[in-house]
Amino acid sequence: MRGPHNIWRLIRTGATLERSGAMGVVLEALEAPREVRILARVLGWPFKPLGFRGDPALPPATRALTALGPAYIKFGQILSTRPDLVGDELAVQLRVLQDKLPPFPNDVAMKMIEEDLGLPVDQVFSEFSAPVAAASIAQVHRARIADTGEEVAVKVLRPKIEKAFRTDIEAFHLAATIIERFIPFSRRLRPSDVVEHFEGIVSGELDLRLESSAASEFAANTRNDEGFRVPRAYWGLSSRRVMTLGWAEGVPLGDNDAIDAAGHDRQALAKRVLQLFLHHALRDGFFHADMHQGNLKVGADGAIICYDFGIMGRIDEYTRRVYAEILFGMIRQDYRRVAEVHFEAGYVPAEMDVDEFSRALRAVGDPIFGMDASHISMGRLLSYLFEVTERFGMQTRTELILLQRTMVVVEGVARSLDPHMNIWEVARPIVEAYIKENVGPKAFLRDLTRTVQVLARFGPKLPKLAEAALVQQDMPPEAPPANPWPQRLGWMGLGAGLAALVALAVS
């Protein structure tokens, strides 16, 4: 599956970028060094005729990514939220990729709905519109349920999207293998693991039953979040290729002129979207991992409405605490503690010097504080961060990829609403509240209680474990153990378990 035929796919990728004119546009926007630009043009020019032509009506970068397929489109969607990295002009061009791609015909969508739900469309819906939004994986229709009159959004997968997505991912795997083999320093970034992680996440978008489940869980978690709404999932009208959600009426979060015309406060919205993401990631450990402008609206009441739950992120409680301590340390400019957390979590090899790492973090963080956000070059900041991680041998943590990527996307969305927003000041109250609740004596007592509860579940097995230990103790060993402490520790562990059970019973 990842054989030589994918080399052809990579060649056509470069050729398509060259033929569409996107190669120069992208390299210019990313401020690539002159040598890199020359090399890219020299390598791409001979293969230019082999590239996909794409839609000439679209701007170069959008034209190339649309022609290349769904995985490339996903990449463009991420870049569209980062005008500070790719420039305002390119970001606006790429925003078309969020929900304004060419749709597939209505009759094809209706046939898929009938096949999956087992009923004619006109029997299920009294109204069924042409596509109102079309993205890389699916398109959305506005409809009305025949039995209840409720207005809903019906999402339908693109035909044969699984095969198209597989073609892209196979090429990505080959590219990662080539990079690892010929660029040794890239191995610590684990490009193959990153691609595999991306594949697993986006594969979830290809089964809309999983998305319905995610929408339902996310709605339950956030039902008390002020100024935030999640549409209801209609399980009876959903399947693998079809999903039905309550209709979200509002102004697109990416349309600043419409937001201003509706009288909404963009500064307040920017602050809320970032704080909501931090709430969901830290408090719940379950967050929307595709929070670009195409998946967000502002309701008439000013609430942020979130939809499209194909990519969701989940992080365990330990990782949440590590992430919060790192953010908290950066906010307080306590770089020594940030460095220590990296070492404690194993993110930095133990043989590295914690003081040197702390100084490197200070060089990243100090220039940001007190500076107007509009004057911060995120491109230069990320470049320096990359140098720091390379110098200290930090490997890419695949369990944090989605969290980090979403943080970048959400920050981009917030700054598109308020370019002068200081992300550290906005994040401070959320992170401080989480630290107060989850790090320290209070959290320790809660963890201890949970440990006792887990031990209590093994209560019925403890007599047999004790009996087995006593029998083992009475048997003369063939040879005395060189170190008696493992045996003693075993008894200490059993005693601690019994003591915990007694404490639980007394309480």
Looking at residue 495, what is its pLDDT? 39
Looking at residue 244, what is its pLDDT? 97
User: Which residue numbers are catalytic?
Assistant: 290
Dihedral pair phi/psi, residue 131, rounded to 5°:
-55, 130
* Contact of 381 with 82, CB cutoff 8 Å: no
For residue 168, the surrounding DSSP H or E stretch is: helix 161-182
187-212 b/e (C-beta count within 10 Å ≥ 16 → b): eebbbbeebbbbbebbebbbbbebbb
Looking at residue 497, what is its pLDDT? 37
- For the chain, the helix, strand and coil percentages under 3-state DSSP, each to the nearest 5: 65, 10, 25
Picking from 303, 293, 299, 291, the residue whose alpha carbon sits closest to that of residue 250 is 299
d(C-alpha 39, C-alpha 20), whole Å: 18
For the chain, 507 residues long, give each residue's pLDDT as a single digit of tens.
Answer: 455 667 777 788 888 888 888 887 777 765 666 766 776 777 677 888 888 888 888 888 888 888 888 778 877 776 676 665 566 677 777 777 766 678 899 999 999 999 999 999 999 999 999 999 888 889 999 999 999 999 999 999 999 888 878 878 888 788 778 777 766 655 655 778 767 767 776 777 888 999 999 999 999 999 999 999 999 999 999 999 999 999 999 999 989 999 999 999 999 999 999 999 999 999 999 999 888 888 899 999 999 999 889 888 888 888 888 888 888 888 788 889 988 988 888 888 888 999 998 998 888 778 766 666 566 555 455 556 656 766 787 766 656 667 877 887 888 889 889 988 887 788 889 988 888 888 766 666 766 777 777 767 776 777 777 778 777 766 665 555 554 434 433 333 333 333 333 333 333
Cα angle 417, 141, 299 (rounded to 5 degrees) comes to 35
Query: Strand 251-252 and strand 296-298: pairing?
Result: antiparallel
d(C-alpha 257, C-alpha 357), whole Å: 44
* Contact of 154 with 114, CB cutoff 8 Å: no
- Using CA atoms, how far residue 491 sits from 397, 477, 488, 494, in Å, is 37, 17, 5, 5
User: Among the residues of 223-312, which ranges form H helices?
Assistant: 256-261, 266-278
Structure tokens at 358: 């702390």
* Contact of 81 with 413, CB cutoff 8 Å: yes
Looking at residue 439, what is its pLDDT? 73
Domain boundaries, the chain: 5-99, 102-135+137-247, 249-439, 445-506
Structure tokens at 46: 């001979």
- Using CA atoms, how far residue 50 sits from 13, 40, 65, 163, in Å, is 9, 16, 15, 22
* Contact of 93 with 61, CB cutoff 8 Å: yes
Tell me if the pTM is above 0.75.
no
d(C-alpha 142, C-alpha 129), whole Å: 5
Q: Where are the beta strands (DSSP E) in 61-183?
A: 125-134, 138-145, 151-157
